[in-house]
Structure 1
Amino acid sequence: MILRFLPGLALTIAFAACTPTNGDVAERSENIPTALPVMNTFGAHNTPRPSRSNTAIAADFLDLTFQMESGRVIDRMSRFEGPITVAVTPGAPAHLIADLDGLIARLRSEAGIDISRVSGGAGGSASIIVETLPRARMQRVVPQAACFVVPRVASWSEFRRSRAGRTLDWTTLNSREHVAVFIPSDVAPQEVRDCLHEEIAQALGPLNDLYRLPDSVFNDDNFHAVLTGFDMLILRTYYDDALQSGMTRAEVASRLPAILARLNPRGGRGSELSRSHTPREWIAAIETALGPGTTDIERIAAANQAVQFAQRSGWSDSRLAFSYFALGRLTLSREVETSIAAFQSASAIFDRVAPGGIQSAHIDMQLAAFALAAGRSEESLRLTARAMPIATQAQNASLLSTLLMIRAEAMDNLGRASEARAVRLDSLAWGRYGFGSDRVGTRLSEVAALSPRR
């Protein structure tokens, strides 16, 4: 079983921490229209190619393919052999089908995979079955999972019957024939889409996540919402004719240089990143910092431990940056100067290892919120303007919506009321996709509460 955990707290902590606690947030709804605009959605995705060297990508491929997230070794590669079909069981939200069709089109064109959607009536005969169910029902069985993928079953009931044995053990597969993806039906459209991208990618290919990757959904930091150019190259390599199910790590490693030279000819001149192992001690600290069941003080302590561990290990990559990012989020309401300094440290590293990446847009959003709360509206506009194209490129509607909400408040503060109204409407249109129609008004009120004029 491969889990996508509940989304990180990149957006929720910031505004819960900055929002006043005197109970008046719900009253600040004068800027919320009585009727929400039509929901915005993203069009075709323009995917930049990875900039790293093929040598680095080969090492990433091997670590993603021959190890589980738990650290267990996978002895032999497994994949689907032959055409792949995807079926959705009845009852799924309508927007899921549209996003799934977009994903399948990208997998065909960018990863070269022979994959297609068949009608839900195909049921258990499909290679990949996508089933939706209420989040509460799903989490009664698998707590903390936002969504997940399992092998050798075709339905939720079959999954529940098979949990006791080794049926669901990915390391026992010789090849893949049937895989089930379980996604909550009652969450925001963006979360459904994010689950489709990550879980279908892992149903098809690598089963591991690596925190060192700054440009991939195969990373538990959850920065990337949709499959990246790196991810598509990994999947294209996974289904290259030179590879097949049953190969060992050594056999795959011997063929990767020729495969990548053919698929990614510019990779011979790409950049390098650290490929050092990520110890469980650091991962445990991050999971404590961002997971449930601990106090704020314990989480901040865990984030500090992650920073210190990364520094002692000599890391200067995205893992150190993510440690600072976690610390910045968790200290928002308690130690503002510490929070700002942590975000700035994270930003400096991300600007080096992932220039113009989605990580920088998340940090700019946090700093723009600080600037808005401090009455520095022009700075808030500058930061949001820098982050919005990145959020759009990454197809992150919740981040884009929040940036637009911050801009609307900053414009109101500067006396630009008509512009603010137009931007606010746009934020709600994106927010319906990013947060869900029933939650976007709450987000707008939370952002409005940051403004000093309120």
Structure 2
Amino acid sequence: MAIALRRYYARVQEDLLAQGLLRLDGGGVDTPFTDEMLARNFERIALAEEYARGGGLQPSSGALGEIKKWNIPVRVGVTFGSSLSPEAQEQDRAVLSRYTRRLSRVTGHPISLVASQPNFHVLVMGEDDKDQLREMLDQIAPGMEASSRAIFLNLPRSIHCLVVAFADTRSSNAYRQAVALVRTEHPDLTRRACFHEELAQGLGLANDDQNARPSIFNDDEEFALLTTHDELLLKILYDPRLTPGMSADQARPIVRTLAQKLKGGGPS
């Protein structure tokens, strides 16, 4: 099973690269966007959810919800399954170290890779690590809903990676914990792309939108890594004027002002 998955994901990556996808440049002159586009994309990506809460992989209604974000320091910890080579583990740890520093710089929020007491767990595991994955979920997220747990343990082949973020209560929008799963069967670039998307989604950019460009929050796989556009989404989300639980109507004028400022066309 694991060998077949490695071959499959290697072919997927090769096919995407052959089509000119999985770009690493972050966007350029061929991907212009305005402050209005940025604000619209923020609404669709930060205020809607990809999946219905408690519904497993059931798509959400697409309705706009509330602002979701962390207001405590994000402590990222990574646990590797034994199916990933020591060399690849070292490489991935370096990727996560650089990326968490970048996320902290972009958001202005404390985000770091830690060796102990994490609250954002990144599990890099594959089909041959199921027993270890099951034990980790029991240890770090004993209260995880059965539907979410089942997905982690039986991830469909079409889902490359996954993150679930948790608040204190079901009605809260202030995150306190997150668990991400990245398959060891992925080739290096796809694992790196998963780290970029799942960590950013776990910070509160929870949805994908087909019209967002240049962005990794788009199922077309055009970009592999966090883009300049996506950095601006994170800057908006972690501006202190936006607080967890704020409705779309409450957030909209603030988002528009911030988008204008970030694109150089409006007041601070």
Q: State if a TM-score over 0.5 links the two structures.
A: yes
> What secondary structure is seen at the aligned counterpart in 2 of 1:89?
strand
Q: 2:106·2:234 contact (CA, 8 Å) conserved in 1?
A: no
Counterpart position of 1:257: 256
Q: 2:10·2:186 contact (CA, 8 Å) conserved in 1?
A: no
Query: Structure 1: how far apart are the matches of 2:60 and 2:220?
Result: 17
The 3 A distance-change label for structure 1 pair 59 and 7 is: farther
Task: Supply the RMSD in Å over aligned alpha carbons.
Answer: 3.2
Post-superposition offset of 1:129: 0.7
| Aligned pair partner of 1:67 in 34, 43, 48 | 48
Query: Which string of whole-angstrom CA distances, capped at 9 and with x for unpartnered residues, describes residues 193-227 of structure 1?
Result: 11100100100022111111231000011121100
Query: Structure 2: how far apart are the matches of 1:261 and 1:13?
Result: 34
After superposition, residues 374-413 of structure 1 pair within 5 angstroms as none
Query: Structure 1: how far apart are the matches of 2:153 and 2:185?
Result: 15
Larger radius of gyration: 1
Q: 2:26·2:227 contact (CA, 8 Å) conserved in 1?
A: no
Counterpart position of 1:152: 166
Post-superposition offset of 1:88: 1.1
The 3 A distance-change label for structure 1 pair 10 and 149 is: closer
Counterpart position of 1:107: 103
> What secondary structure is seen at the aligned counterpart in 2 of 1:62?
helix
Counterpart position of 2:156: 143
Q: 1:8·1:221 contact (CA, 8 Å) conserved in 2?
A: no
Query: Which string of whole-angstrom CA distances, capped at 9 and with x for unpartnered residues, describes residues 60-95 of structure 1?
Result: 111112222324235321110032211112557221
Counterpart position of 1:175: 174
After superposition, residues 54-453 of structure 1 pair within 5 angstroms as 54-69=35-50, 70-72=59-61, 73-91=63-81, 93-119=89-115, 121-122=116-117, 126-135=118-127, 137=130, 141-144=154-157, 145-152=159-166, 172-266=171-265
Provide the identity percentage: 24
Structure 1 segments unaligned to the other structure (5+ residues): 1-5, 16-41, 154-166, 269-454
Query: Structure 2: how far apart are the matches of 1:81 and 1:8?
Result: 40
Post-superposition offset of 1:54: 1.0
| Aligned pair partner of 1:11 in 9, 14, 17 | 14
Relative to total residues, which structure has the larger strand share, 1 or 2?
2
Alignment TM-score, normalising by the size of structure 1: 0.43
Counterpart position of 2:141: none
Q: Name the aligned partner's letter for residue 88 of structure 1.
A: V
Q: 1:7·1:222 contact (CA, 8 Å) conserved in 2?
A: no
> What secondary structure is seen at the aligned counterpart in 2 of 1:178?
strand
Query: Which string of whole-angstrom CA distances, capped at 9 and with x for unpartnered residues, describes residues 119-178 of structure 1?
Result: 0x32xxx2311112114648761212211001239xxxxxxxxxxxxx9x8xx5421110
> What secondary structure is seen at the aligned counterpart in 1 of 2:97?
helix
Post-superposition offset of 1:14: 9.8
Q: Name the aligned partner's letter for residue 104 of structure 2.
A: R
> What secondary structure is seen at the aligned counterpart in 2 of 1:177?
strand
**Alignment: residue pair count:** 215
Post-superposition offset of 1:261: 2.9
Q: 2:166·2:176 contact (CA, 8 Å) conserved in 1?
A: yes
Q: 1:86·1:130 contact (CA, 8 Å) conserved in 2?
A: yes
Q: Name the aligned partner's letter for residue 94 of structure 2.
A: A
Q: Name the aligned partner's letter for residue 72 of structure 2.
A: G
> What secondary structure is seen at the aligned counterpart in 1 of 2:44?
helix
Q: 1:52·1:267 contact (CA, 8 Å) conserved in 2?
A: no
Relative to total residues, which structure has the larger helix share, 1 or 2?
1
Q: Name the aligned partner's letter for residue 68 of structure 1.
A: E
Once the two structures are overlaid, the 10-residue window that deviates more, 186-195 or 176-185, is: 186-195
The 3 A distance-change label for structure 1 pair 47 and 211 is: closer
Query: Structure 1: how far apart are the matches of 2:189 and 2:218?
Result: 18
Q: 1:127·1:177 contact (CA, 8 Å) conserved in 2?
A: yes
Query: Structure 2: how far apart are the matches of 1:64 and 1:112?
Result: 20
Counterpart position of 2:4: none
Q: 1:8·1:222 contact (CA, 8 Å) conserved in 2?
A: no
Alignment TM-score, normalising by the size of structure 2: 0.70
